[in-house]
Amino acid sequence: MHVKTIPTEHEEQKTLIEWAELQRKANPELKMLYAIPNGGHRNKIVATKLKAEGVKSGVPDMCLPVPRGGYHGLYIELKRLRGGRVSAEQKIWIDCLEKQGYQAIVCNGWFEARTAILDYLEGAQDERLDTNTYRHTERKRPQGSSQYSGR
């Protein structure tokens, strides 16, 4: 029996960055997409140093500092396809970022994040649920498609 494993958040984020690098010619703004390394397990010494340097719990994982559609930029909290949950601190950050004029969303998996980024760059309106999870009905991943297929 073949058990399909669910990619970790790290694997999802790595795939999203690989996709963005491949798409930079079509969407030059993607060169500005960057990760915010707040997550992960660290020893106490490193955690203390990072906190002193301004690392804050709950800040979303990714940022695309490109203004579109009345927003200053896009923040993405990237969760794995199943099993990830949004913490109280993350919900607070998402709310605060939205109040400051950013689009801040939660995406489950790299493909959902990819769709959100493309929609954002095109100025499309997002369709968020009450949980701030991004959902889009028009750009579903085709069955059997490669993870790096075009748009």
117 vs 93: CA distance, rounded Å: 19
In a domain, 1, yes or no: no
Give a yes or no: residue 48 inside a domain.
yes
Tell me the mean pLDDT in the region 90-95: 96
Pair 131, 88: CB distance under 8 Å: no
Q: How confident is the model at residue 71 (pLDDT cuts 50, 70, 90)?
A: very high
21 lies in some domain = yes
Q: Domain of residue 72: give its range.
A: 9-135
Rounded to whole angstroms, how far apart are CA atoms 101 and 38?
22
Q: How many domains does the chain have?
A: 1
Higher pLDDT, 38 or 74: 74
Examine residue 2 and state whether it is found in any structural domain, yes or no: no
- Indicate whether 143 belongs to any domain: no
Residue 115 has pLDDT above 70, yes or no: yes
What global pTM score does this model have? 0.80
In a domain, 4, yes or no: no
Residue 69 belongs to a domain: yes
